[in-house]
Structure formats: C-alpha cells, structure tokens
Amino acid sequence: MIRIAAVGDLHAGSDTADVLRDQLGEVSQKADVLLIAGDLTKSGEPEEAEALARELRDLSVQVVAVLGNHDHHADRPAEIAGLLREAGVVVLEGDAFRIDTPAGSLGVAGVKGFGGGFPGASGAEFGEPEMKAFIRHTKERSEALESALATLVTDVRIALLHYAPVRETLLGEPPEIFPFLGSYLLAEAVDRSGADLVIHGHAHRGTEHGVTPGGVNVRNVAQTVIRQAYAIYGFDVIGRTEPATAGRGSREGRGSRDVASAAPVSER
Ligand SMILES: [Fe+2]
Ligand SMILES: [Fe+2]
C-alpha cells in the first residue's frame, strides 16, 4: 500500500519548534511521503521558514509542499521556498514530482491555487482591473494544475493545493467567505486531467471530506480540521501493469492505471 501523510496550515514560527518535532518525529515510519498543503509559516517571514526547515531536514521521508497565502504575506515567497528546498523539501508551484515506493509509483502535482468562489456564488473576470486580475490569477493557477497533473504517469496521482476546489470541505466556515477560500476552477482542472485524490488546507474551520463533480475525493487536511499531526491515506495498487510512458499518455490512455479505486482505501 502506498501511504500518504498529509497536513496543512502548520503556521510555523520560532515558538513551534518543539511542537513540530513531537508531531512529525515518527512520520517516516508511517508513510512513504509527507505532503504539506500550504501555510507553512505564520506570516511568510524567512526566520519562520528556517524554524520549519530545521524540523523537516532530518526526516527520512520525502516532504512535498505547496506554499499558502500566509507564506506570501511578507512578499518573500521565493526565499521561503528556497529555505525549504535547502532542507530537502520539494516545493511545487505548477509542477509535479514522482516518488517510487515499494507498493507503486506516486505522482504529486502542486499549486497554491486561489479564490473566486463556487457555482452560483463566484466572481467573474469582469469590471475593475483588480477584479479581473483576481479571477485571472485563479484561472492561471488552475490551468497550471491541469498541465502538471497531465504530465504524471504514475499508479497514484495526487493534486496538492492550498485553496479548496469544492464547497463541501469548507462547511463550518462562514459562507460569506467561501469565495476567499477556494474556487470551482481548481476542481474542473482536476476533473479534466484526472487524479486519485485532492489534498488542500486553508479552511481552518472546514470539513475533511469532499468530492469533485467528476468524482475525485477531496480532503481538507488543515491541522485544525484533522485534529492530529497529520492524516494518513493509503492506496492499494492491485493488478498493476507497467504505467504508460509519457509519450503515449493520452488522457484516455491513463485509464489503464489499475488503482484499486478513486477512494483512498485507508484513512488515518
Ligand atoms: Fe492557514
Ligand atoms: Fe491559508
């Protein structure tokens, strides 16, 4: 079984080192990869990223992350990503990473994503330049996610986001702020390229379980939602055939991947 540990919204700072050390110490024995769904820091200051990097550096499991809005707050996202990469963390933004485990291959496509809302209550690329820029950013990041997912030819494919792709995993948050918590465009991108699971954070008061209109499971792993150090999701890859090569990877062709089901078979 491919085992995925996932958590979002660690919001690290100089005061969180001991907590994170306790929380993450045993993840290497429990999972093949640790996914972090953004908001790694409190306010995007490099010293906060350094504090987190010190805790992640010694983990023997591969860590894959996307940044969140908090990691952009000090306008130094490249420095934040650089500090994490120095500690061995793969930081994704519109690209993908492959991990080969004894139980099969795992691909992770990552983007931060952005807001805009959900059908019936969403913004449009119309009016003031600021509004057009807002929605355009969401469209661009959704297209980047779709492209990154399409490059993956692995037994299991994960979309790693910060913002939510569906309303369901926001339930518990005030509906008035849903447009600032995610966008349906991210779910459309996932459904077009295909994935086995979407991981996101950002909605601290949301709900863990959701599903895209196309049937891809969504999990909000904000630490305040999962109420534990990280959630574990497992995928059994049964009767696996050799994955198709990227060269013949039409969208239909990837249907030959023999993953047990779209649902993670074990959780927690
Ligand atoms: Fe957060
Ligand atoms: Fe956030």
Residue 209 pLDDT > 80, yes or no? yes
Residue 247 pLDDT > 60, yes or no? no
DSSP E strands, the chain: 2-7, 33-37, 62-66, 90-91, 95-101, 104-110, 117-118, 121-122, 156-160, 197-200, 209-211, 217-220, 231-235, 266-267
pLDDT for the residue numbered 243: 39
Residue 201 CA to ligand 2 centre (angstroms):
7
pLDDT for the residue numbered 264: 66
- What average pLDDT does the segment 101-124 reach? 96
Contact 264, 235 (CB under 8 A): yes
pLDDT for the residue numbered 263: 56
Residue 180 CA to ligand 2 centre (angstroms):
10
Residue 84 CA to ligand 1 centre (angstroms):
18
Residue 9 CA to ligand 2 centre (angstroms):
7
Residue 70 CA to ligand 1 centre (angstroms):
7
Burial 93-131 (b: 16+ CB within 10 A, else e): bbebbebebebbbbbbbbbbbbbbbbeeebbeeeeeeee
Residue 227 CA to ligand 1 centre (angstroms):
14
- Give the ligand at the shortest distance from the Cα of 177: 2
> Residue 57: which pLDDT band, with cuts at 50, 70 and 90?
very high
% of the chain with per-residue pLDDT over 90:
83
Kindly report which listed range (8-17, 108-117, 179-188) carries the lowest average pLDDT score.
8-17
